[in-house]
Amino acid sequence: MGIFLELQNKIKNSGILIFCTLLSLYFLFHGISGERGLLKLLYLRSEISSAQKIADSYRQQKEKLEEKVKLLSSSSLDLDLLDERARIVLNLAGTDEFIILDAEETNQKK
């Protein structure tokens, strides 16, 4: 009977050990590759950094456009800019003028 109790205790102790090991492996696996795991965190950080770069480029474009609008407002009207915009919009040029197209501005319109 003593051998039976000793064997039962060993099985019981090893069962608890196996259960704890499997439980630890389960949480470790989901902590690394789960929906809220480490790999997802790294992926989301890269997504955030790329989104911030895009937001910065849009902010710069917005600031450039706001500056142009400010120059065209009635309180501080820049006549040269007004003339330039009118010629571009109406597609007009004088007979004695040369037209030089800016490659960047042409690509932005497309």
Please tell me the predicted confidence (pLDDT) of residue 72. 73
How do residues 58-101 score in pLDDT, each as one tens digit?
999 999 999 888 877 777 777 787 788 888 888 778 788 887 77
Predicted pLDDT of residue 106: 57
- Residue 14 in domain: no
Q: Is residue 63 part of a domain?
A: yes
Give the count of domains, the chain: 1
Residue 16 lies in a domain: no
In degrees, rounded to 5, the angle at the alpha carbon of residue 57 between the alpha carbons of residues 69 and 103 is 70
pLDDT of 24 reads 95
* 59 within a domain of the structure (yes/no): yes
Q: 72 with 81: CB under 8 angstroms?
A: yes
Report yes or no on 55 lying in a domain.
yes
- Residue (of 93, 69, 63) closest to 81 by Cα position: 69
> pTM of the entire structure?
0.50
List the domain range (segments joined by +) for residue 108: 50-110
CB 80 within 8 A of CB 86: no
Gap between the Cα atoms of 50 and 14, Å rounded: 50
Considering the domain boundaries, does residue 93 fall inside one? yes
Q: Which amino acid is at 99?
A: I
